[in-house]
Chain A
């Protein structure tokens, strides 16, 4: 099971606010697509991965494009926790329940290079 995340730019005037879709795609087995809205500026600042993602000159750098991030289903919960963290939202709703989930969150932070979460 894999997940994806997309974003598109609503207004070309202010590229700071971006809408993102999170989608789970069903490939040969099951793929779920979920759409989330993200702020590319905040993410760029918090994560080196996202910074490069938006500026590398590849497909994702096009402001019109939708961003797709494929993740394993096991990564779903910590990934969203990470996104929340980066946006500076309270993590009360997704309180970390166990050491295992904390581990998973740290793994995500390492993968996407989010020093503030580590």
Chain B
């Protein structure tokens, strides 16, 4: 460190004044004892601190520390003994006041005594391992006052009684309470806990048990919860005023247990005011109060969630299975959305956006939406309705919002492929009849579906849009290729060329088109096949529409907007006045069901009956005869004649769609099986089923029986084989 020479440091014994008076210690103590008595008697201002300190210092210095300490203990005991007599003797109401006053005085005196004996506290006490003056004072107080038999019982009783009085609405002296309770705290945690906290907790439990019993009999759920909440705030407030923080927590626990946890089921299930009522009446305040309170007790939220889930499932089930309510698909979906909105709002405003509640809501919806096998169809119809006409009045953002909501419902669907099937049909109808109101909205939904289900799901839908665009170009080319003179003479023919496979088309035999149209068709066919070799064109006459100019008997001119079939029928009347059903059927070769519907719309709809039927009736029969209704009139120049078509599918159609969906699923299931077996090589039956289900879950829930059939079919075609030993095992044959 340093090279400095160390100095030898010698300590010489320090010499005290050796000559002491013989009774030095006795005399000095008398001075101190007198001073202590004066301090107890509130006469401290006359004493000299310097003198007392010096005396105490000298006593300790001269090895009289032991004497000083023990004499001090004796003096304090004497004082406390008197004090306890006095406190015990106080009259009822003033007990706490007196006790508190004595305590304050005692503490002040103790402080002074400690100060003058400071030197002893610092030197003698640690070396002799005795409690310092302050602790000594508190211990003695505890023994003589706080835990003396009479005072202890009386103190506990008084404190608890006051708290109970406050609970029943009386005003008590909180400052006094705080001071006295503070005294117990200062005497040590064990004193506070044993003498006050524990009795208080058990008394409170008793109090709240009784109160909750009483209230639950007479209050409805909402009021009861309000009461419980008020009690909780009261206890918190009480604790902040005069109790230890930990005690406050314990009291809250008592209230939570006695008032909430013990009555949870009863509260939630209460008829007319329980959770179900609150949910139905959108009582956000009550619900959020219930959430807050139940959140404090174990199993509380689970209880709410279970009841809510049960309720949603129950109402949802009624909603989707009630045949009355599923009559109108748009209404049906609207109702689902409303229900979803309602619970979303409840969860966000009353349940603190709790994730577990959102999950419960989602699983409930998933549960009941799939109870009705027609849900996918209805949702698609709802979209159809929205995209078809809604947009004219509605702003774009609103449409987006509606579509987003629909997507939420879509996510709940298990049979997403069924939805796809219907969606394709409806989209095709919209596109072909030009009724799709906004290309943008259509695309937006496709994008949403794509993000939800992947490219594969929407590729065909996108193909439909592409067809629409290329058809426009093709038409331009076709018009350009025709000599202009021809164009004026022949009827206009917009053609949409659709890719087979992308569109939901059934193979259909074309009906006989009127000769004028037929001729244009042939020209287009020649043009198209001339530019694209190796393709095949077939006419989908069931999809088209036509504008006809018609002049009726009294010279009324109208433009009729009709379907291709209706056009074919009406064109027949250019050459003859009366035709029978048979004649029409022969001439047009329209399939019987379509023809009936088409004639019905031409002859039986009031205000649009351009044909007369003989005999007059609602239904079309094979023997009916038709003629032009010469007296037809309408206040519109353009008359749109719709086809009588059920918006919803009829029962056989439904069966058919169902069957097609099932057919479509087969290759998907097979592909999944092959994919899995290719990577696994060997797998047992149950595992295959589980994995296939998992893989296809995003589109539909495959039926295990169908999976089994597919496996068998794959074995037949020698993609797989059964294990020779274990028949349950399958082996992949590469």
Contacts A52-B118, A113-B118 given: A107-B14 contact, CB under 8 Å?
A: yes
Collect the chain A residues with CB atoms within 8 Å of residue B47's CB.
58-59
Contact of B112 among A53, A58, A67, A69 (CB under 8 A): A58
A49 to B117, CA, bound (A): 11
Per-residue contact bits, chain B 561-593, to A (CB 8 Å; 1 contact, 0 not)? 000000000000000000000000000000000
A48 to B118, CA, bound (A): 9
Collect the chain A residues with CB atoms within 8 Å of residue B44's CB.
56-58
Per the 8 Å Cβ criterion, residues 52-83 of B in contact with A are: 52-54, 57
Is A103 interfacial (CB 8 A cutoff)?
yes
Q: Interface residues of A: mostly helix, strand, loop or mixed? A: helix
Per the 8 Å Cβ criterion, residues 16-60 of B in contact with A are: 17, 44-54, 57
Beta-carbon nearest neighbor of A54 in chain B: B49
Assess whether A103 is in contact with B45, with CB atoms less than 8 Å apart: no
Assess whether B53 is in contact with A49, with CB atoms less than 8 Å apart: yes
Q: Interface residues of B: mostly helix, strand, loop or mixed? A: helix
A52 to B115, CA, bound (A): 7
Is B119 interfacial (CB 8 A cutoff)?
yes
Collect the chain A residues with CB atoms within 8 Å of residue B9's CB.
99
Collect the chain A residues with CB atoms within 8 Å of residue B116's CB.
56
Is B532 interfacial (CB 8 A cutoff)?
no
A61 to B46, CA, bound (A): 10
Assess whether A113 is in contact with B122, with CB atoms less than 8 Å apart: yes
Assess whether B14 is in contact with A103, with CB atoms less than 8 Å apart: yes
Is B397 interfacial (CB 8 A cutoff)?
no
A67 to B48, CA, bound (A): 9
Interface size on A, residues (CB 8 A): 23
Assess whether A59 is in contact with B46, with CB atoms less than 8 Å apart: yes
Is A46 interfacial (CB 8 A cutoff)?
no
Name the distance in Å between A28's Cβ and chain B's nearest Cβ: 13
Contacts A56-B115, A113-B118 given: A103-B49 contact, CB under 8 Å?
A: no
Contact of B10 among A56, A72, A99 (CB under 8 A): A99
Assess whether A103 is in contact with B50, with CB atoms less than 8 Å apart: no
A47 to B17, CA, bound (A): 25
Beta-carbon nearest neighbor of A103 in chain B: B14
Per-residue contact bits, chain A 74-104, to B (CB 8 Å; 1 contact, 0 not)? 0000000000000000000000000110011
Is B12 interfacial (CB 8 A cutoff)?
yes
Assess whether B49 is in contact with A99, with CB atoms less than 8 Å apart: no
Assess whether A57 is in contact with B122, with CB atoms less than 8 Å apart: no
A72 to B57, CA, bound (A): 13
A-B contact pairs, 21 of them (CB 8 A): A49-B118, A53-B50, A56-B49, A56-B115, A57-B112, A58-B47, A58-B112, A59-B46, A60-B50, A61-B45, A62-B45, A68-B48, A70-B50, A70-B51, A99-B10, A99-B11, A103-B11, A107-B14, A111-B57, A113-B119, A113-B122
